[in-house]
């Protein structure tokens, strides 16, 4: 059972480049989400999805796009990378009932130069 | 809006001793859950313990227990018999049905160092 698989683990981008962070889960979870982690600020929600074909913005959505064509996959796209997007990114998934445990990928450390 | 505050950016404890990490939160909801997640140097987020707001009994998981004070909106984590493997970032988190898709609101984290 792979859980939540997130790739790549590390990435360096130049300002203005675009890229996609991949996330896949094999637990048939309805909910998937993307967070970014910055020092002293914990994890902040970027975008989330409550099911295939349904996505919405979180707390810090600017500069990021998502789509969810299948239950398993939830990629995060950086359209035009900026130094302010240097961060560690986490994908998470969970069932829909309140209080359920969220399962996280191993994170992607992204540096934008 | 819900907020979660962890007032201790860094803490240290001697191996085998007990340490308490603080967390306060703010919400107007009555039905919610609180969590403590651990993030070791590997960066993996691991659920340590969770507490339902309607349950008066404090949750415990082996060496980990919480002190949940609903009126004070406080949710501290106590680690007993600290081990070197407890060295990690600890995040307090909160969710309520009115949160976007049952998503989590995190505190800023407490970095815990267990010293031999």
Please write the tens of the pLDDT for every residue from A11-46.
999 999 999 999 999 999 999 999 999 988 899 999
State which residue of chain B sits closest to A9, comparing Cα positions: B43
How much is the mean pLDDT over chain A?
A: 95
pLDDT for position A52: 94
CA distance A50 to chain B (A): 6
A70 C-beta neighbours (distance < 10 Å), count: 10
Q: What distance in Å separates the CA atoms of residue B94 and residue B27, rounded to the nearest whole number?
A: 9
DSSP conformation letters of A44-68: EEEEEEEETTEEEE-SS-TTEEE--
- Please indicate whether, in this complex, the C-beta atoms of A101 and B50 are within 8 angstroms of each other: yes
- Please indicate whether, in this complex, the C-beta atoms of A45 and B45 are within 8 angstroms of each other: no
- Rounded to 5, what percent of chain B is helix, strand, coil? 5, 50, 45
Burial class (CB within 10 angstroms; exposed 0-12, middle 13-18, buried 19+) of A46: buried
pLDDT for position B70: 94
pLDDT for position B100: 61
Spans in chain B with pLDDT lower than 50: none
- Residues of A within 8 A of B93 (CB-CB) are 43
Residue among B16, B37, B36 at smallest CA distance from B83: B16
CA-CA-CA-CA torsion sign (A68, A70, A76, A79): negative
Q: What's the mean pLDDT in A83-107?
A: 94
CA-CA-CA-CA torsion sign (B116, A43, B108, B58): negative
- Residues of A within 8 A of B102 (CB-CB) are 31, 94, 96-98, 100
What separation in angstroms does the CA of A49 have from each of A8, A74, B45? 21, 8, 20
- Condensed to tens digits (0 to 9), the pLDDT of residues A51-79 reads 999 999 999 999 999 999 999 999 999 99
How would residue A2 be classed by pLDDT, with cut points 50, 70 and 90?
Answer: confident
How would residue A1 be classed by pLDDT, with cut points 50, 70 and 90?
Answer: low
How would residue A49 be classed by pLDDT, with cut points 50, 70 and 90?
Answer: very high
pLDDT for position A86: 97
- Residues of B within 8 A of A31 (CB-CB) are 101-103
pLDDT for position B99: 59
User: Any chain B CB within 8 A of the CB of A40?
Assistant: yes
């Amino acid at each position: 059972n792979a859980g939540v698989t997130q790739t790549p683990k590390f990435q360096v981008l130049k300002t203005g480049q675009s890229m996609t962070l991949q996330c896949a889960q094999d637990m048939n979870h309805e909910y998937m989400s993307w967070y970014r982690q910055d020092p002293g600020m914990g994890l902040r929600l970027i975008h989330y999805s409550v099911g295939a074909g349904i996505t919405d913005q979180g707390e810090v959505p600017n500069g990021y796009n998502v789509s969810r064509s299948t239950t398993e996959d939830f990629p995060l796209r950086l359209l035009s990378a900026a130094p302010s997007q240097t961060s560690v990114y986490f994908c998470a998934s969970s069932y829909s009932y309140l209080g359920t445990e969220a399962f996280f990928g191993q994170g992607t450390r992204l540096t934008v130069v | 809006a819900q907020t979660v505050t962890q007032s201790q950016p860094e803490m240290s404890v001697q191996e085998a001793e007990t340490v308490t990490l603080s967390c306060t939160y703010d919400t107007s909801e009555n039905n919610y859950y609180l969590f403590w997640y651990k993030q070791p140097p590997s960066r993996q987020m691991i659920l340590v313990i969770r507490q339902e707001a309607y349950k008066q009994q404090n949750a415990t998981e082996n060496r980990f227990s919480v002190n949940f004070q609903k009126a004070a909106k406080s949710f501290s984590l106590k680690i007993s018999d600290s081990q070197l493997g407890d060295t990690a970032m600890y995040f307090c988190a909160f969710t309520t049905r009115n949160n976007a898709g049952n998503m989590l609101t995190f505190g800023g984290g407490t970095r815990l160092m267990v010293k031999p």
